[in-house]
Amino acid sequence: MTAIPQERRLVTAIPGPKSQELQARRTAAVAGGVGSVLPVFAARAGGGIVEDVDGNRLIDFGSGIAVTSVGASAEAVVRRASAQLADFTHTCFMVTPYEGYVEVCERLAELTPGDHAKKSALFNSGAEAVENAVKIARSYTRRQAVVVFDHGYHGRTNLTMALTSKNMPYKNGFGPFAPEIYRVPVAYGYRWPTGPENCGPEASAQVIDQISKQIGADNVAAIIIEPLLGEGGFIEPAKGFLPALARFARENGIVFVADEIQSGFCRTGQWFACEDEGVVPDLITTAKGIAGGLPLAAVTGRAEIMDAAHSGGLGGTYGGNPVACAAALGAIETMKELDLAAKARRIEAVMKPRLAALSEKYDVIGDIRGRGAMIAIELVKDRATKEPNPEATAALAKACHAAGLLVLTCGTYGNVLRFLPPLVIGEDLLTEGLDIVEQAFSAL
């Protein structure tokens, strides 16, 4: 385990003087387009704590956006990556391959849903994985259209910007965007006009109708969806929606792609979020939690689909870097040994009742949702109109930061406060973090 004491400690204001000095240097040297949630500079991190350069210790409810599920300095990740670093840093898998890459692909075949023959290809970032899923689906189907969803997020590269639904800050002024991308509604229960009970069947019928009538099912290469939408607001598609879409895809020769970049690797209390309704995707994209903080991403899926691209058609200089692969094997080992899926379910069991009690007291809480250690509060100005409340969301996040709790926001309307603690966080830190959230509400 990590050497960092697992306790919150505030020794300066947030951000402290050393962070402020670094922030001034950053402003002069780093492009303005790159943002930060909180201008606190990290010195070390591990377990449920991020320690800054001033010696403050913040409770981590962000995991670097759902990445450090095993902690930011997990023993097996550090050990395996360090050993690999000493052996060799890089050869390029496309020049002379190495075992770690193959082993990660073997693990992915075992861990992802479905007992069909599977293959994988490795990349550096989530966006790159999604781009490659599209390339593979297009090669396999010899079709071009790609269907994505309202509130979906898939990355910041040109193709994935086109797949992403939210304009600011991701797309504004960065077009033109890739063609043959079609957006359809998602089963957002809380905001479905006829109520959450009707949402799954109505939304899936609407999507199927739109695909059939507007695009033509025969033209569609892939349907890409996050089984639990991340950046868009931790939206759990209403029950029945995902299975209906997967069935429609199967019946029409469309590749069904689950983007589990944020929701995968035990985050939601299962290895993958699509397991919740027993959905078996044709392809699955993973990144973030896969490698304990090192940059690694993958596309995994049915062998016949994965093999559709011509030899040499997939790759990249660094894809499946040996140090990142070693880290992934360490992260996966940690998830199994500590049963981090069960830890995620425990985090939900601690968080949900506390948040439900808050919801009784505060009208600004419109909805509480999510699974495992991917939990969110949607904030509204009025429970009847459900008008989004981004101001309250920002104020709550700010109050949490000042008290030493790192939280993130998300949502198309900027009105969702989200919690993504490392799955290894201790229960006392988890509880203390929730105390801070509660204080932030009472100060609102």
Binding site for ligand PLZ (CB under 6 A): 65, 125-127, 130, 153-156, 226, 230-231, 259, 261-262, 287
3-state SS of 39-55 is CCCEEEEECCEEEECCC
**Which residue number is nearest to ligand PLZ in terms of Cβ?**
126
Residue 179 burial (CB < 10 Å; 0-12/13-18/19+)? exposed
Taking the least distance from each CB to ligand PLZ, the nearer of 93 and 123 is 123
- Cβ within 8 Å of residue 433, ≥6 positions away: 59, 61, 405, 419, 421
Taking the least distance from each CB to ligand PLZ, the nearer of 49 and 163 is 163
Q: Tell me how far, at minimum, the Cβ of 129 lies from ligand PLZ, in Å.
A: 7
Taking the least distance from each CB to ligand PLZ, the nearer of 156 and 171 is 156
DSSP string, 346-397: HHHHHHHHHHHHHHHH-TTEEEEEEETTEEEEEEBS-TTT--B-HHHHHHHH
Q: Tell me how far, at minimum, the Cβ of 155 lies from ligand PLZ, in Å.
A: 4
CA angle 331, 106, 110 (to 5 degrees): 80
Taking the least distance from each CB to ligand PLZ, the nearer of 231 and 367 is 231
Q: Tell me how far, at minimum, the Cβ of 378 lies from ligand PLZ, in Å.
A: 18
In eight-state DSSP terms, residue 191 is G
Closest residue by Cα to residue 376 from 271, 287, 263:
263
Give yes or no for a contact between 203 and 241, defined as CB atoms under 8 angstroms apart.
Answer: yes
Structure tokens at 228: 């639990």
Taking the least distance from each CB to ligand PLZ, the nearer of 133 and 434 is 133
Residue type, 387: E
Closest residue by Cα to residue 4 from 431, 313, 425:
425
- Cβ within 8 Å of residue 427, ≥6 positions away: 346, 350
- Please count the other Cβ atoms lying within 10 Å of the Cβ belonging to residue 198: 14
Taking the least distance from each CB to ligand PLZ, the nearer of 296 and 434 is 296
Taking the least distance from each CB to ligand PLZ, the nearer of 228 and 399 is 228
- Please count the other Cβ atoms lying within 10 Å of the Cβ belonging to residue 387: 12
Q: Tell me how far, at minimum, the Cβ of 410 lies from ligand PLZ, in Å.
A: 9
Q: Tell me how far, at minimum, the Cβ of 98 lies from ligand PLZ, in Å.
A: 23
Taking the least distance from each CB to ligand PLZ, the nearer of 15 and 289 is 289
Taking the least distance from each CB to ligand PLZ, the nearer of 230 and 233 is 230
Taking the least distance from each CB to ligand PLZ, the nearer of 128 and 378 is 128
Give the largest Cα separation in the chain, rounded: 62
Residue 171 burial (CB < 10 Å; 0-12/13-18/19+)? middle
Q: Cis peptide leading into 201, omega within 30 of 0? A: no
Token pair 């052996």 in the structure block, residue: 87
- Cβ within 8 Å of residue 100, ≥6 positions away: 84, 320, 322, 325, 326, 329
Q: Tell me how far, at minimum, the Cβ of 420 lies from ligand PLZ, in Å.
A: 10
